[in-house]
Amino acid sequence: MVDFINEMPSLQAYLLLAALLFCIGVWGLINSRNAVRVLMSIELMLNAVNINLMAFSSYVDGDLIRGQVFAVFVITVAAAEAAVGLAILLSLYRNRVTVDMEQFNLLRW
Amino acid sequence: MTIVGTTELVCFLVLAAVVVAGSLGGVRLSNIVYSAFLLGGVFMAVAGLYLLLNASFVAAAQVLVYVGAINVLILFAIMLVNKREDLKAIANLTTRRVVSAGVCLGLLALLVRVVVTTPWNLPGPAAVGEEATARIGEHLFTDYLLPFELASVLLLMAMIGAIVLARRDVLATDVVTGEVADQGLIEKSSTPLLLERPSS
C-alpha cells in the first residue's frame, strides 16, 4: 500500500502535492483582505485540481488521457472566470474606492 | 534506482518545492505585487510538472493562458486598483486565522488519508507519451466536440460580460429623443456611486 516511496514520483506524490496546494489556496481565500489576492487564491485552487486531473490521466488512464482534455477545459473556464472576476473587481473598486473584502457588504442581510 | 528515475525524482522535488513555497508566499506576502509575480512562478512550475507527466500540449497551454494571460490580467488589475490603504482593524482577526488554519489542516489531513489509503488501480494502461497532443485533438473533435464548442461560446460570453462590467459610460445623447443628456450625469460618471454617506 505504501510502497510509493520507492518509486517516486508516483501518483500519490502528485496527489499529495495537489492536496497541499489546494489547502493553501483555501486558506488564502478565507484570510485575504485584498480582493485581488482572493482571485489569486482561486487560481491556486484551480491549479491544484488540474494537477490532480493530469496525474490521474497519466497514471490511471494512460491510453485515453481524458484527464488532459478535462484540464484544457478547466484552463478555459479559469480564463473566463479571471476576466469576469477582475471586471467585477474593477467596477466594485470604482464604486467603493477600496479593495478591502470587509467593506464589500452590500448584499449582507 | 535508474538515472532516469533519479532525474525525474529530483525534478519533481524541485518543482514541488517551488510550487509550495511560491503559493505560501503568494498568500502570505504583504506586498501584492510580489504575490502576483510569485503566482507566475507557481504557474510555471505547474507547467513543469505537466511536462514531467508527458503532457506537452497542456503545459504549453498552461504557460500561454495562466502566465501569459491570467497573470498579466492580475498585474493589470493590481495597477488599476493599487491604492495604499490602511486596512481597518477588525475584531478577532487572530482567532479567525487560527480557526481557518485548523479547518485547512483538517481538510489536508482528510485528503492525505484518502490518497494514502485508497488502493489505486495501478499500474494503469501504458501512457501514450508524446502522442498525447494528437490524442487530445482527436478527443476534442470527436467525443468532446460539444463541450469544445460550448467553451468557445463561454469565452465569448465572458469577453462581452467583462467589457460591459468594466466600462461605465453615460450616453452623451438620449437614445429615444436625441436630445443632449443631462450634463450632470456625465460629470457624475467619474465619481463613485456607492460611497457610504456620512451617517446622519
- pTM score > 0.95 for this model? no
Residue A7: pLDDT band with limits 50, 70, 90: low
**Is residue A61 predicted with pLDDT exceeding 70?**
yes
Asked if A11 is an interface residue toward chain B (Cβ–Cβ < 8 A), one would say: yes
The beta-carbon neighbor of B128 closest among A12, A62, A106 is A62
Asked if the C-beta of B38 comes within 8 angstroms of chain A's C-beta atoms, the answer is no
**Residue the block writes with cell 477588525:** B90
Q: Are A28 and B26 in contact (CB under 8 A)?
A: yes
Q: Which three three-digit cell numbers place residue A48?
A: 491544484
Q: Is the model more confident about A64 or about B186? A: A64
* pLDDT value of residue B128: 81
Residue matched to cell numbers 488564502:
A28
| CA pair distance B196, A47, nearest whole angstrom | 37
Query: Most B CBs within 10 Å: which of A5, A12, A24, A102, as the mutation test of the B interface?
Result: A24
The answer to whether the Cβ–Cβ distance between B77 and A86 falls below 8 Å is yes
| In contact, B58 and A72? CB cutoff 8 Å | yes
What are the chain A neighbours of B103 within 8 Å (beta carbons)?
A: 26, 30
Average pLDDT, chain B: 85
Closest CA to A81 of A25, A41, A26, A34: A41
Contact call for B121 and A60, based on CB within 8 A: yes
Q: Is the pLDDT of residue B150 over 90?
A: yes
pLDDT of residue A1: 46
Of the given ranges (A76-80, A101-105, B157-161), which has the lowest mean pLDDT? A101-105
| Structure confidence at residue A108 as a pLDDT band (50, 70, 90) | confident
| CA-wise closest residue to B50 among B62, B38, B66 | B62
The pLDDT value recorded for residue B1 is: 67
Q: What is the pLDDT of residue B120?
A: 86
pLDDT value for B106: 97
Does residue A42 contact residue A29 with C-beta atoms inside 8 Å? yes
Considering chain B, what percentage of its residues have pLDDT values greater than 70?
83
Nearest-5° Cα angle at B33, B42 to A47: 25
**What ipTM did this prediction achieve?**
0.91
Instruction: Give residue-wise pLDDT tens across range B18-72.
Output: 999 999 999 999 899 999 999 999 999 999 999 999 899 999 999 999 999 999 9
Taking only the tens place, the pLDDT of each residue in A63-99 is: 888 999 999 999 999 999 999 999 999 888 888 888 8
What is the reported pLDDT for B70?
94
Q: Exposed, middle or buried by CB within 10 Å (0-12, 13-18, 19+), for B166? A: middle
Written as nine digits, the cell of B115 is 490518497
Contacts of B76-79 with C-beta under 8 Å, sequence gap 24+, read B76/A86, B77/A36, B77/A39, B77/A86, B77/A89, B77/A90, B78/A36, B78/B32, B78/B33, B78/B36
**CB neighbour class for A107 (10 Å; exposed up to 12, middle 13-18, buried from 19):** exposed
CB proximity list for A84: less than 8 A, separation 6 or greater:
B158, B161, B162, B165
pLDDT the model gives residue B176: 66
* Helix residue spans in chain B (DSSP H): 3-28, 32-52, 56-62, 71-81, 93-117, 132-141, 145-166, 183-188
Asked if the Cβ–Cβ distance from A59 to B124 is below 8 Å, we say: yes
> Cβ–Cβ of B55/A15 closer than 8 Å?
no
Task: Scan residues 28-87 of A and list those with Cβ closer than 8 Å to B.
Answer: 28, 30-37, 39-41, 43-44, 47, 50-51, 54-55, 57-66, 68-69, 71-73, 75-84, 86-87
- CA neighbor of A40 nearest in space, from B35, B105, B116: B35
